[in-house]
Amino acid sequence: MPIYEYECTSCGKQFERLVLGSDEEITCPNCGAGSPKKLMSGFAHRSGSGPLVSSSGGCSSCSGGSCATCH
């Protein structure tokens, strides 16, 4: 079950949503508007037995260096 990142086209709030099905209607948790814009998300992968590596530079929804610092 993927987690997608969205940005509301009405209020500009960015948020994440666990999407269970393709027919699920996504609304902004801040203002309730529908049809948010899906953002490009980073992903993490493990190379062999090495550390978990993220493809993005940090968390898009906070100023921390990684999502571990704000979530």
**Beta bridge pairs of residue 15:** 6
pLDDT of residue 32 exceeding 50, the answer is yes
Residue found under tokens 């993927």 = 2
| Whether 35 contacts 43, CB under 8 Å | no
Q: Residue 57 domain-assigned? A: no
Write the Ramachandran bin of 31: left for phi over 0, alpha for psi from -120 to 50, otherwise beta. Answer: alpha
Predicted TM-score (pTM) of this structure: 0.56
Does residue 61 fall inside a structural domain? no
Helix (H/G/I), strand (E/B), else coil: 63: coil
On whether residue 30 sits in a domain, the answer given is yes
Does any domain span residue 64? no
Count of domains for the chain: 1
Q: Is residue 11 part of a domain?
A: yes
pLDDT at 70 over 80: no
Q: What does the pLDDT look like over 16-31, one tens digit per residue?
A: 998 888 788 999 999 9
Give the residue with greater pLDDT, 42 vs 34.
Answer: 34
The pLDDT score that the predictor gives to residue 26 is 92
Q: What is the pLDDT of residue 46?
A: 63
49 lies in some domain: no
Instruction: Return the structure tokens found at 8.
Output: 């509301």
Q: Give residue 23's domain range.
A: 1-40
Rounded-to-integer distance, Cα 40 and Cα 54, Å: 14
